[in-house]
Protein backbone atom coordinates (compact mmCIF):
# COMPACT_ATOMS: atom_id res chain seq x y z
CA UNK A 1 0.00 0.00 0.00
CA UNK A 2 1.28 3.50 -0.71
CA UNK A 3 1.55 6.05 2.08
CA UNK A 4 -1.33 7.91 0.39
CA UNK A 5 -4.06 6.54 2.63
CA UNK A 6 -2.43 7.45 5.87
CA UNK A 7 -1.54 10.90 4.62
CA UNK A 8 -5.01 11.30 3.13
CA UNK A 9 -3.70 13.25 0.13
CA UNK A 10 -5.35 13.21 -3.26
CA UNK A 11 -3.89 12.53 -6.66
CA UNK A 12 -1.79 9.42 -6.03
CA UNK A 13 -2.26 5.72 -5.83
CA UNK A 14 -4.30 3.00 -7.42
CA UNK A 15 -8.00 2.26 -6.98
CA UNK A 16 -9.70 -0.96 -8.04
CA UNK A 17 -13.44 -1.07 -8.72
CA UNK A 18 -14.96 -4.55 -8.73
CA UNK A 19 -17.98 -4.92 -11.03
CA UNK A 20 -18.76 -2.86 -14.13
CA UNK A 21 -22.51 -2.47 -13.65
CA UNK A 22 -24.03 0.98 -13.24
CA UNK A 23 -22.59 1.51 -9.77
CA UNK A 24 -19.10 0.31 -10.79
CA UNK A 25 -19.08 2.52 -13.87
CA UNK A 26 -20.20 5.55 -11.87
CA UNK A 27 -17.67 4.79 -9.12
CA UNK A 28 -14.83 4.45 -11.66
CA UNK A 29 -15.83 7.81 -13.14
CA UNK A 30 -15.88 9.35 -9.65
CA UNK A 31 -12.40 8.01 -8.86
CA UNK A 32 -10.88 9.07 -12.17
CA UNK A 33 -8.72 12.14 -11.64
CA UNK A 34 -8.53 11.44 -7.92
CA UNK A 35 -6.21 8.42 -8.13
CA UNK A 36 -3.26 8.04 -10.50
CA UNK A 37 -4.89 4.99 -11.90
CA UNK A 38 -8.25 3.22 -11.68
CA UNK A 39 -8.75 -0.41 -12.66
CA UNK A 40 -12.33 -1.49 -13.33
CA UNK A 41 -12.71 -5.26 -13.09
CA UNK A 42 -15.68 -7.16 -14.54
CA UNK A 43 -16.37 -10.87 -14.30
CA UNK A 44 -18.25 -11.03 -17.61
CA UNK A 45 -15.87 -11.30 -20.49
CA UNK A 46 -15.78 -8.44 -22.99
CA UNK A 47 -19.22 -7.00 -22.31
CA UNK A 48 -19.27 -5.27 -25.67
CA UNK A 49 -22.41 -4.29 -27.55
CA UNK A 50 -25.88 -3.77 -26.20
CA UNK A 51 -27.10 -7.26 -25.38
CA UNK A 52 -28.28 -8.52 -22.00
CA UNK A 53 -25.29 -10.09 -20.26
CA UNK A 54 -24.94 -12.86 -17.74
CA UNK A 55 -23.83 -10.73 -14.79
CA UNK A 56 -26.80 -8.36 -15.20
CA UNK A 57 -29.81 -10.53 -16.07
CA UNK A 58 -32.13 -7.74 -14.95
CA UNK A 59 -31.06 -5.91 -18.12
CA UNK A 60 -33.89 -7.65 -20.01
CA UNK A 61 -36.48 -5.79 -17.90
CA UNK A 62 -37.61 -2.18 -17.94
CA UNK A 63 -34.95 0.05 -16.43
CA UNK A 64 -36.39 3.53 -15.91
CA UNK A 65 -33.80 6.16 -15.15
CA UNK A 66 -35.41 8.78 -12.93
CA UNK A 67 -34.89 12.40 -14.01
CA UNK A 68 -32.96 12.86 -10.75
CA UNK A 69 -30.63 10.03 -11.79
CA UNK A 70 -30.23 11.51 -15.28
CA UNK A 71 -29.06 14.78 -13.73
CA UNK A 72 -26.35 13.03 -11.70
CA UNK A 73 -25.22 10.90 -14.66
CA UNK A 74 -25.00 14.04 -16.81
CA UNK A 75 -22.73 15.64 -14.19
CA UNK A 76 -20.35 12.69 -14.53
CA UNK A 77 -20.81 12.29 -18.28
CA UNK A 78 -21.65 15.67 -19.83
CA UNK A 79 -23.90 15.45 -22.88
CA UNK A 80 -24.88 11.84 -22.11
CA UNK A 81 -28.64 12.34 -22.27
CA UNK A 82 -28.44 14.22 -25.58
CA UNK A 83 -26.06 11.59 -26.99
CA UNK A 84 -28.34 8.71 -26.01
CA UNK A 85 -31.36 10.53 -27.44
CA UNK A 86 -29.47 11.24 -30.69
CA UNK A 87 -28.57 7.56 -30.95
CA UNK A 88 -32.18 6.48 -30.83
CA UNK A 89 -33.19 6.78 -27.16
CA UNK A 90 -36.68 8.08 -26.49
CA UNK A 91 -37.28 11.40 -24.77
CA UNK A 92 -40.76 11.36 -23.30
CA UNK A 93 -42.63 14.36 -21.97
CA UNK A 94 -43.25 13.93 -18.27
CA UNK A 95 -46.03 13.74 -17.51
CA UNK A 96 -47.84 14.65 -20.72
CA UNK A 97 -46.56 11.69 -22.75
CA UNK A 98 -46.67 9.23 -19.87
CA UNK A 99 -49.69 7.47 -18.42
CA UNK A 100 -48.93 6.78 -14.80
CA UNK A 101 -51.47 5.05 -12.60
CA UNK A 102 -50.42 4.62 -8.98
CA UNK A 103 -52.71 3.08 -6.38
CA UNK A 104 -55.61 3.11 -8.81
CA UNK A 105 -55.51 6.79 -9.85
CA UNK A 106 -53.95 8.33 -12.92
CA UNK A 107 -51.41 11.06 -12.27
CA UNK A 108 -52.64 14.27 -13.86
CA UNK A 109 -50.75 14.86 -17.12
CA UNK A 110 -49.09 18.19 -16.39
CA UNK A 111 -45.93 19.01 -18.39
CA UNK A 112 -42.92 18.68 -16.05
CA UNK A 113 -39.92 18.21 -18.34
CA UNK A 114 -38.63 15.19 -20.23
CA UNK A 115 -37.40 11.77 -19.28
CA UNK A 116 -34.92 9.58 -21.13
CA UNK A 117 -36.08 6.05 -21.90
CA UNK A 118 -33.47 3.49 -22.98
CA UNK A 119 -32.79 -0.15 -22.22
CA UNK A 120 -30.36 -1.04 -19.46
CA UNK A 121 -27.83 -2.66 -21.86
CA UNK A 122 -27.90 0.42 -24.11
CA UNK A 123 -27.32 2.81 -21.21
CA UNK A 124 -24.65 0.62 -19.65
CA UNK A 125 -22.87 0.16 -23.01
CA UNK A 126 -22.58 3.91 -23.55
CA UNK A 127 -21.39 4.50 -19.98
CA UNK A 128 -18.82 1.75 -20.41
CA UNK A 129 -17.48 3.37 -23.59
CA UNK A 130 -17.18 6.71 -21.81
CA UNK A 131 -15.42 5.21 -18.79
CA UNK A 132 -13.07 3.02 -20.86
CA UNK A 133 -12.04 6.14 -22.81
CA UNK A 134 -10.82 7.91 -19.65
CA UNK A 135 -7.00 8.03 -19.83
CA UNK A 136 -6.50 6.92 -16.22
CA UNK A 137 -9.02 4.04 -16.25
CA UNK A 138 -8.33 0.48 -17.41
CA UNK A 139 -11.21 -1.93 -17.93
CA UNK A 140 -10.27 -5.57 -17.32
CA UNK A 141 -12.97 -8.08 -18.23
CA UNK A 142 -13.29 -11.83 -17.70
CA UNK A 143 -11.78 -11.52 -14.23
CA UNK A 144 -13.47 -11.96 -10.88
CA UNK A 145 -12.60 -10.73 -7.44
CA UNK A 146 -11.79 -13.66 -5.18
CA UNK A 147 -10.67 -12.15 -1.89
CA UNK A 148 -9.22 -8.98 -0.41
CA UNK A 149 -5.54 -8.56 0.38
CA UNK A 150 -5.27 -7.38 3.96
CA UNK A 151 -2.62 -5.78 6.09
CA UNK A 152 -3.42 -5.73 9.80
CA UNK A 153 -3.07 -2.04 10.67
CA UNK A 154 -3.83 -0.68 7.23
CA UNK A 155 -6.93 -2.69 6.34
CA UNK A 156 -7.49 -3.70 2.72
CA UNK A 157 -4.46 -3.16 0.52
CA UNK A 158 -5.58 -4.87 -2.66
CA UNK A 159 -7.54 -7.73 -4.07
CA UNK A 160 -6.92 -11.12 -5.57
CA UNK A 161 -8.34 -11.56 -9.08
CA UNK A 162 -8.81 -14.75 -11.05
CA UNK A 163 -10.37 -16.03 -14.25
CA UNK A 164 -13.85 -17.34 -13.35
CA UNK A 165 -13.50 -20.99 -12.43
CA UNK A 166 -9.74 -20.69 -12.13
CA UNK A 167 -8.93 -19.43 -8.63
CA UNK A 168 -5.58 -21.25 -8.75
CA UNK A 169 -4.36 -18.64 -11.20
CA UNK A 170 -5.27 -15.83 -8.78
CA UNK A 171 -3.35 -12.62 -9.35
CA UNK A 172 -2.75 -10.22 -6.43
CA UNK A 173 -3.36 -6.58 -7.33
CA UNK A 174 -2.26 -3.89 -4.88
CA UNK A 175 -4.64 -0.99 -4.35
CA UNK A 176 -5.06 2.00 -2.09
CA UNK A 177 -8.81 1.70 -2.39
CA UNK A 178 -10.99 -1.28 -3.33
CA UNK A 179 -14.61 -0.57 -4.29
CA UNK A 180 -17.12 -3.41 -4.12
CA UNK A 181 -19.65 -2.74 -6.90
CA UNK A 182 -20.45 -6.42 -7.32
CA UNK A 183 -24.19 -5.96 -6.93
CA UNK A 184 -26.64 -7.31 -4.41
CA UNK A 185 -24.55 -10.43 -3.78
CA UNK A 186 -21.48 -8.18 -3.34
CA UNK A 187 -18.88 -9.76 -1.17
CA UNK A 188 -17.79 -6.63 0.66
CA UNK A 189 -19.94 -7.39 3.70
CA UNK A 190 -18.65 -10.97 3.99
CA UNK A 191 -15.09 -9.75 3.51
CA UNK A 192 -15.55 -7.71 6.68
CA UNK A 193 -15.95 -10.94 8.62
CA UNK A 194 -12.96 -12.54 6.92
CA UNK A 195 -10.91 -9.51 7.93
CA UNK A 196 -12.02 -9.74 11.56
CA UNK A 197 -14.56 -6.89 11.42
CA UNK A 198 -18.31 -7.15 12.12
CA UNK A 199 -20.67 -7.46 9.18
CA UNK A 200 -23.15 -4.62 8.74
CA UNK A 201 -26.66 -5.02 10.18
CA UNK A 202 -29.11 -5.97 7.43
CA UNK A 203 -32.67 -4.75 6.92
CA UNK A 204 -34.74 -7.03 4.73
CA UNK A 205 -38.34 -6.75 3.55
CA UNK A 206 -39.79 -9.86 1.92
CA UNK A 207 -41.82 -8.71 -1.06
CA UNK A 208 -41.85 -11.85 -3.26
CA UNK A 209 -42.05 -9.91 -6.52
CA UNK A 210 -41.51 -11.60 -9.88
CA UNK A 211 -41.03 -9.97 -13.28
CA UNK A 212 -41.61 -11.17 -16.83
CA UNK A 213 -40.65 -9.00 -19.80
CA UNK A 214 -40.64 -8.99 -23.57
CA UNK A 215 -39.55 -6.52 -26.24
CA UNK A 216 -41.82 -5.62 -29.15
CA UNK A 217 -41.73 -3.69 -32.38
CA UNK A 218 -44.94 -1.68 -32.41
CA UNK A 219 -46.36 -0.10 -35.56
CA UNK A 220 -45.86 3.72 -35.46
CA UNK A 221 -48.87 5.43 -33.90
CA UNK A 222 -50.44 2.16 -32.77
CA UNK A 223 -50.09 3.22 -29.14
CA UNK A 224 -51.35 6.78 -29.69
CA UNK A 225 -49.24 9.59 -28.29
CA UNK A 226 -48.13 7.83 -25.11
CA UNK A 227 -44.44 6.92 -24.89
CA UNK A 228 -44.77 5.14 -21.61
CA UNK A 229 -47.46 3.48 -19.54
CA UNK A 230 -46.99 2.58 -15.88
CA UNK A 231 -49.76 0.80 -14.07
CA UNK A 232 -48.80 0.23 -10.45
CA UNK A 233 -50.09 -2.55 -8.21
CA UNK A 234 -52.95 -1.88 -5.83
CA UNK A 235 -53.83 -3.58 -2.57
CA UNK A 236 -56.74 -5.39 -4.22
CA UNK A 237 -54.83 -6.26 -7.42
CA UNK A 238 -51.16 -6.74 -6.58
CA UNK A 239 -50.02 -6.75 -10.22
CA UNK A 240 -48.41 -4.10 -12.35
CA UNK A 241 -47.34 -3.40 -15.91
CA UNK A 242 -44.77 -1.04 -17.39
CA UNK A 243 -44.69 -0.43 -21.13
CA UNK A 244 -41.93 1.85 -22.35
CA UNK A 245 -40.71 3.04 -25.71
CA UNK A 246 -36.94 2.70 -25.74
CA UNK A 247 -34.15 3.07 -28.30
CA UNK A 248 -34.84 2.46 -31.98
CA UNK A 249 -38.60 2.48 -31.41
CA UNK A 250 -38.59 -0.88 -29.67
CA UNK A 251 -40.97 -1.17 -26.73
CA UNK A 252 -40.50 -3.29 -23.64
CA UNK A 253 -43.39 -4.63 -21.62
CA UNK A 254 -42.52 -5.67 -18.06
CA UNK A 255 -45.20 -7.35 -15.97
CA UNK A 256 -44.86 -7.99 -12.28
CA UNK A 257 -46.82 -9.26 -9.33
CA UNK A 258 -46.53 -9.60 -5.55
CA UNK A 259 -46.88 -13.13 -4.20
CA UNK A 260 -46.83 -16.49 -5.94
CA UNK A 261 -50.44 -16.35 -7.17
CA UNK A 262 -49.68 -13.09 -8.95
CA UNK A 263 -46.33 -13.81 -10.57
CA UNK A 264 -46.59 -13.17 -14.32
CA UNK A 265 -46.50 -16.17 -16.66
CA UNK A 266 -43.55 -16.78 -18.96
CA UNK A 267 -45.37 -18.93 -21.54
CA UNK A 268 -45.90 -16.81 -24.70
CA UNK A 269 -49.58 -17.76 -24.98
CA UNK A 270 -50.28 -16.62 -21.39
CA UNK A 271 -47.97 -13.61 -21.10
CA UNK A 272 -50.27 -10.98 -22.61
CA UNK A 273 -53.29 -12.50 -20.89
CA UNK A 274 -51.81 -11.30 -17.58
CA UNK A 275 -51.79 -7.74 -18.95
CA UNK A 276 -55.42 -7.82 -20.06
CA UNK A 277 -57.41 -5.63 -17.71
CA UNK A 278 -54.21 -3.99 -16.45
CA UNK A 279 -53.47 -2.09 -19.67
CA UNK A 280 -56.12 -0.01 -21.44
CA UNK A 281 -57.95 -2.12 -24.09
CA UNK A 282 -56.48 -0.13 -27.05
CA UNK A 283 -52.95 -0.57 -25.72
CA UNK A 284 -53.48 -4.26 -25.08
CA UNK A 285 -54.86 -4.86 -28.59
CA UNK A 286 -51.96 -2.91 -30.13
CA UNK A 287 -49.52 -5.20 -28.31
CA UNK A 288 -51.38 -8.30 -29.47
CA UNK A 289 -50.73 -7.16 -33.04
CA UNK A 290 -47.10 -6.19 -32.39
CA UNK A 291 -44.07 -8.20 -33.42
CA UNK A 292 -42.16 -9.74 -30.48
CA UNK A 293 -38.44 -9.04 -30.78
CA UNK A 294 -37.36 -11.35 -27.97
CA UNK A 295 -38.51 -14.28 -25.89
CA UNK A 296 -39.90 -13.73 -22.41
CA UNK A 297 -37.38 -13.16 -19.61
CA UNK A 298 -38.24 -13.64 -15.97
CA UNK A 299 -36.66 -12.42 -12.75
CA UNK A 300 -37.52 -13.33 -9.17
CA UNK A 301 -36.97 -10.63 -6.56
CA UNK A 302 -37.63 -12.10 -3.11
CA UNK A 303 -36.70 -9.23 -0.81
CA UNK A 304 -35.49 -5.65 -0.62
CA UNK A 305 -32.24 -5.52 1.29
CA UNK A 306 -30.24 -2.80 2.94
CA UNK A 307 -26.83 -3.22 4.56
CA UNK A 308 -26.30 -0.53 7.16
CA UNK A 309 -22.53 -0.13 6.94
CA UNK A 310 -22.95 3.35 8.43
CA UNK A 311 -23.97 1.78 11.75
CA UNK A 312 -20.70 -0.12 12.19
CA UNK A 313 -18.31 1.16 14.84
CA UNK A 314 -15.24 -0.33 13.21
CA UNK A 315 -14.63 -0.56 9.50
CA UNK A 316 -11.61 -1.76 7.52
CA UNK A 317 -9.84 1.08 5.75
CA UNK A 318 -9.35 0.78 2.02
CA UNK A 319 -12.68 -0.92 1.23
CA UNK A 320 -16.09 0.54 0.40
CA UNK A 321 -19.23 -1.04 -1.05
CA UNK A 322 -21.55 0.88 -3.39
CA UNK A 323 -24.81 0.39 -5.30
CA UNK A 324 -26.86 -2.74 -4.79
CA UNK A 325 -24.12 -4.11 -2.53
CA UNK A 326 -25.31 -1.47 -0.02
CA UNK A 327 -28.99 -1.29 -0.85
CA UNK A 328 -31.12 -3.30 -3.25
CA UNK A 329 -34.48 -1.56 -3.63
CA UNK A 330 -37.64 -3.23 -4.88
CA UNK A 331 -37.16 -2.63 -8.62
CA UNK A 332 -40.80 -1.71 -9.27
CA UNK A 333 -39.99 1.79 -7.93
CA UNK A 334 -37.15 2.25 -10.43
CA UNK A 335 -34.66 3.99 -8.13
CA UNK A 336 -31.64 1.62 -7.99
CA UNK A 337 -29.55 3.25 -10.73
CA UNK A 338 -30.25 6.71 -9.34
CA UNK A 339 -29.11 5.71 -5.87
CA UNK A 340 -25.96 4.13 -7.40
CA UNK A 341 -25.18 7.42 -9.18
CA UNK A 342 -25.84 9.44 -6.02
CA UNK A 343 -23.48 7.19 -4.06
CA UNK A 344 -20.75 7.69 -6.65
CA UNK A 345 -21.23 11.43 -6.25
CA UNK A 346 -20.96 11.01 -2.48
CA UNK A 347 -17.76 9.00 -2.94
CA UNK A 348 -16.23 11.77 -5.00
CA UNK A 349 -17.23 14.37 -2.43
CA UNK A 350 -15.67 12.36 0.41
CA UNK A 351 -12.46 11.85 -1.56
CA UNK A 352 -12.04 15.61 -1.77
CA UNK A 353 -10.97 15.29 1.88
CA UNK A 354 -8.53 12.47 1.15
CA UNK A 355 -8.70 8.76 1.77
CA UNK A 356 -8.08 8.71 5.54
CA UNK A 357 -11.23 7.47 7.28
CA UNK A 358 -12.97 7.24 3.90
CA UNK A 359 -15.27 4.27 4.61
CA UNK A 360 -16.86 5.93 7.66
CA UNK A 361 -17.34 9.27 5.93
CA UNK A 362 -18.61 7.64 2.74
CA UNK A 363 -21.17 5.35 4.40
CA UNK A 364 -22.59 8.31 6.30
CA UNK A 365 -23.16 10.12 2.99
CA UNK A 366 -24.40 6.98 1.23
CA UNK A 367 -26.99 6.45 3.98
CA UNK A 368 -28.43 9.88 3.09
CA UNK A 369 -28.81 8.84 -0.56
CA UNK A 370 -30.50 5.59 0.42
CA UNK A 371 -32.77 6.88 3.19
CA UNK A 372 -35.74 8.32 1.28
CA UNK A 373 -35.91 5.80 -1.60
CA UNK A 374 -35.79 3.03 1.02
CA UNK A 375 -38.43 4.70 3.17
CA UNK A 376 -40.84 5.37 0.29
CA UNK A 377 -40.46 1.98 -1.35
CA UNK A 378 -40.81 0.00 1.87
CA UNK A 379 -43.80 2.10 2.98
CA UNK A 380 -45.53 1.41 -0.35
CA UNK A 381 -44.66 -2.29 -0.08
CA UNK A 382 -45.90 -2.47 3.51
CA UNK A 383 -49.30 -1.22 2.35
CA UNK A 384 -49.68 -4.43 0.30
CA UNK A 385 -51.48 -7.25 2.15
CA UNK A 386 -49.21 -9.75 0.34
CA UNK A 387 -46.10 -8.33 2.06
CA UNK A 388 -45.82 -9.98 5.49
CA UNK A 389 -44.67 -8.44 8.73
CA UNK A 390 -46.67 -5.21 8.91
CA UNK A 391 -49.46 -4.76 11.44
CA UNK A 392 -52.76 -4.69 9.50
CA UNK A 393 -53.72 -1.35 11.03
CA UNK A 394 -50.49 0.24 9.81
CA UNK A 395 -50.82 -1.42 6.39
CA UNK A 396 -54.38 -0.07 6.14
CA UNK A 397 -53.30 3.43 7.12
CA UNK A 398 -50.48 3.41 4.58
CA UNK A 399 -52.87 2.15 1.90
CA UNK A 400 -55.35 4.91 2.66
CA UNK A 401 -52.73 7.62 2.54
CA UNK A 402 -51.25 6.40 -0.77
CA UNK A 403 -54.71 6.15 -2.30
CA UNK A 404 -55.74 9.59 -1.05
CA UNK A 405 -52.50 11.13 -2.32
CA UNK A 406 -52.98 9.61 -5.75
CA UNK A 407 -56.62 10.62 -5.97
CA UNK A 408 -55.52 14.16 -5.18
CA UNK A 409 -52.71 13.85 -7.76
CA UNK A 410 -55.27 12.85 -10.38
CA UNK A 411 -57.30 15.97 -9.73
CA UNK A 412 -54.76 18.62 -8.74
CA UNK A 413 -51.70 19.63 -10.79
CA UNK A 414 -49.79 20.79 -7.68
CA UNK A 415 -50.18 17.41 -6.02
CA UNK A 416 -49.22 15.65 -9.27
CA UNK A 417 -46.04 17.75 -9.44
CA UNK A 418 -45.20 17.01 -5.78
CA UNK A 419 -45.70 13.28 -6.31
CA UNK A 420 -43.56 13.38 -9.45
CA UNK A 421 -40.76 15.25 -7.65
CA UNK A 422 -40.75 12.58 -4.94
CA UNK A 423 -40.85 9.52 -7.21
CA UNK A 424 -38.48 10.91 -9.84
CA UNK A 425 -35.98 11.87 -7.12
CA UNK A 426 -35.67 15.32 -8.66
CA UNK A 427 -36.99 17.62 -5.99
CA UNK A 428 -37.38 17.34 -2.28
CA UNK A 429 -40.21 15.10 -1.08
CA UNK A 430 -40.94 17.99 1.27
CA UNK A 431 -43.26 19.22 -1.51
CA UNK A 432 -45.71 16.57 -0.36
CA UNK A 433 -45.87 18.27 3.03
CA UNK A 434 -46.83 21.70 1.64
CA UNK A 435 -50.13 22.91 3.17
CA UNK A 436 -52.03 23.09 -0.16
CA UNK A 437 -50.87 19.61 -1.09
CA UNK A 438 -51.81 18.15 2.28
CA UNK A 439 -55.18 19.89 2.20
CA UNK A 440 -55.87 18.40 -1.25
CA UNK A 441 -54.88 14.95 0.00
CA UNK A 442 -57.15 15.26 3.02
CA UNK A 443 -60.07 16.20 0.76
CA UNK A 444 -59.55 12.87 -1.03
CA UNK A 445 -59.24 10.82 2.14
CA UNK A 446 -62.14 8.40 1.87
CA UNK A 447 -63.39 6.33 4.80
CA UNK A 448 -64.39 3.62 2.30
CA UNK A 449 -60.75 3.14 1.45
CA UNK A 450 -59.89 2.12 5.01
CA UNK A 451 -59.95 -1.59 4.27
CA UNK A 452 -56.97 -2.97 2.33
CA UNK A 453 -58.05 -4.66 -0.87
CA UNK A 454 -61.23 -2.62 -1.35
CA UNK A 455 -59.87 -0.54 -4.27
C1 LIG B 1 -35.91 -6.82 -12.53
C2 LIG B 1 -35.19 -5.55 -12.16
C3 LIG B 1 -35.63 -4.34 -12.70
C4 LIG B 1 -34.99 -3.16 -12.34
N5 LIG B 1 -35.47 -1.98 -12.82
C6 LIG B 1 -34.85 -0.83 -12.46
C7 LIG B 1 -35.34 0.43 -12.96
O8 LIG B 1 -36.35 0.52 -13.65
N9 LIG B 1 -34.64 1.55 -12.60
C10 LIG B 1 -33.54 1.51 -11.79
O11 LIG B 1 -32.96 2.55 -11.50
N12 LIG B 1 -33.08 0.33 -11.30
C13 LIG B 1 -33.70 -0.82 -11.61
N14 LIG B 1 -33.23 -2.00 -11.12
C15 LIG B 1 -32.07 -1.97 -10.18
C16 LIG B 1 -30.76 -1.83 -10.92
O17 LIG B 1 -30.57 -2.92 -11.81
C18 LIG B 1 -29.59 -1.75 -9.91
O19 LIG B 1 -29.96 -1.05 -8.77
C20 LIG B 1 -28.42 -1.01 -10.52
O21 LIG B 1 -28.05 -1.68 -11.68
C22 LIG B 1 -27.19 -0.90 -9.63
O23 LIG B 1 -26.63 -2.16 -9.50
P24 LIG B 1 -25.08 -2.44 -9.32
O25 LIG B 1 -24.24 -1.83 -10.37
O26 LIG B 1 -24.75 -2.13 -7.91
O27 LIG B 1 -25.11 -4.03 -9.50
P28 LIG B 1 -25.31 -4.89 -10.79
O29 LIG B 1 -26.07 -4.16 -11.81
O30 LIG B 1 -25.87 -6.17 -10.30
O31 LIG B 1 -23.84 -5.10 -11.34
C32 LIG B 1 -22.88 -5.88 -10.64
C33 LIG B 1 -21.72 -6.18 -11.57
O34 LIG B 1 -20.70 -6.84 -10.84
C35 LIG B 1 -20.20 -7.95 -11.59
N36 LIG B 1 -19.65 -8.91 -10.63
C37 LIG B 1 -20.31 -9.66 -9.71
N38 LIG B 1 -19.46 -10.40 -8.98
C39 LIG B 1 -18.23 -10.08 -9.41
C40 LIG B 1 -16.92 -10.49 -9.02
N41 LIG B 1 -16.70 -11.39 -8.04
N42 LIG B 1 -15.85 -9.95 -9.67
C43 LIG B 1 -16.03 -9.05 -10.67
N44 LIG B 1 -17.24 -8.64 -11.08
C45 LIG B 1 -18.33 -9.13 -10.46
C46 LIG B 1 -21.43 -8.45 -12.35
O47 LIG B 1 -21.08 -9.21 -13.48
C48 LIG B 1 -22.09 -7.10 -12.72
O49 LIG B 1 -21.58 -6.59 -13.91
C50 LIG B 1 -33.86 -3.19 -11.45
C51 LIG B 1 -33.43 -4.41 -10.92
C52 LIG B 1 -34.10 -5.56 -11.25
C53 LIG B 1 -33.65 -6.84 -10.62
Instruction: State pLDDT tens for residues 379-429.
Output: 999 999 999 999 999 999 999 999 999 999 999 999 999 999 999 888 778
Q: How far apart are CA 155 and CA 240, in angstroms?
A: 46
Ligand 1: centre distance to CA 59 (Å): 8
The atom of ligand 1 lying closest to the CA of 323 is 26
Q: Which has more pLDDT, 165 or 343?
A: 343
Q: How confident is the model at residue 4 (pLDDT cuts 50, 70, 90)?
A: very low
Determine the distance separating the centroid of ligand 1 and the alpha carbon of 142, expressed in angstroms.
17
Distance 65 CA to ligand 1 centre (A): 13
Buried b (16+ CB within 10 A) or exposed e, 205-234: bebbbbbbbbbbebeeeebeebbbbbbbbb
pLDDT, average across residues 142-164: 92
State the Cα–Cα distance between residues 53 and 56, nearest whole angstrom: 6
Atom of ligand 1 nearest to the CA of 57: 53
Q: Which letter does DSSP use for residue 427 in this model? A: S
Residues 6+ apart with CB under 8 A from 395: 382, 383, 384, 385, 452
Task: Output the CA angle 37-42-46, nearest 5 degrees.
Answer: 105
What's domain 4-56+123-201+308-377's architecture?
Answer: 3-Layer(bba) Sandwich (3.50)
In the chain, what is the straight-line distance between the N-terminal and C-terminal CA atoms, in Å?
A: 60
Contacts with 119 (C-beta within 8 Å, 6 or more apart), sequence order: 50, 59, 63, 246, 247, 250, 252
436-449 burial by CB neighbour count: b if 16+ within 10 A, else e? ebeebbeebeeeeb
Strand partners, 305: 204, 328
At residue 273, φ and ψ (nearest 5 deg) are -60, -35
Topology at the third CATH level for domain 70-119+204-301: FAD/NAD(P)-binding domain (3.50.50)
Q: How far is the centre of ligand 1, averaged over its atoms, from the C-alpha of 436 (Å)?
A: 39
Report the separation in Å between the CA atom of 24 and the middle of ligand 1, taken as the mean of its atom positions. Answer: 9
Cα(359)–Cα(316) distance, integer angstroms: 8
* pLDDT score, position 70: 95
Q: Which atom of ligand 1 is nearest to the CA of 328?
A: 19
Which atom of ligand 1 lies nearest, measured to the CA of 19?
A: 34
Give the global pTM: 0.94
- 297-307/202-217 β-pairing: antiparallel
Q: What pLDDT, in 10s, does the model give residues 336-354?
A: 999 999 999 999 999 999 9
Q: Residue 327 has what DSSP assignment?
A: E
Buried-exposed string 19-37: b where 16+ CB fall within 10 A, e elsewhere: bbbbbbbbbbbbbbbbbeb
E-assigned strand segments in 276-435: 291-292, 297-307, 319-321, 327-328
Report CA(228)–ligand 1 centroid distance (Å): 23
Q: Per-residue pLDDT for 61 more than 80?
A: yes
Residues with CB under 6 A from ligand 1: 18-24, 41-44, 55-56, 58, 61-64, 144-145, 181-183, 211, 299, 301, 323-325, 331, 334-338, 340
Domain with CATH 3.50.50.60 in the chain: 4-56+123-201+308-377, 70-119+204-301
For ligand 1, atom 30, the nearest C-alpha belongs to: 183
Amino acid sequence: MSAERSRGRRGTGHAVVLGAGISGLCAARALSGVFDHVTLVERDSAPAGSGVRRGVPQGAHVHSLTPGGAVVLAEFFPGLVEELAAEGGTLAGALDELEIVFFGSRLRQVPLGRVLQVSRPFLEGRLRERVAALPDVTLRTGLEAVEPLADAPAGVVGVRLARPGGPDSAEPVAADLVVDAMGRAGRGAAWHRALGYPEPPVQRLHVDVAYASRRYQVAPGALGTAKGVLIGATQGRPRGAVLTQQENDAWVLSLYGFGKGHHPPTAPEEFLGFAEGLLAPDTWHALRGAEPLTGISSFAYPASLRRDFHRLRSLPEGLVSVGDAVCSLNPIYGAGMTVAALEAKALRKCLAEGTAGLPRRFYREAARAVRLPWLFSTMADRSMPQVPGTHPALAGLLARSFRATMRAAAADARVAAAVWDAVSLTGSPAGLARPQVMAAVLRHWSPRAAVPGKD
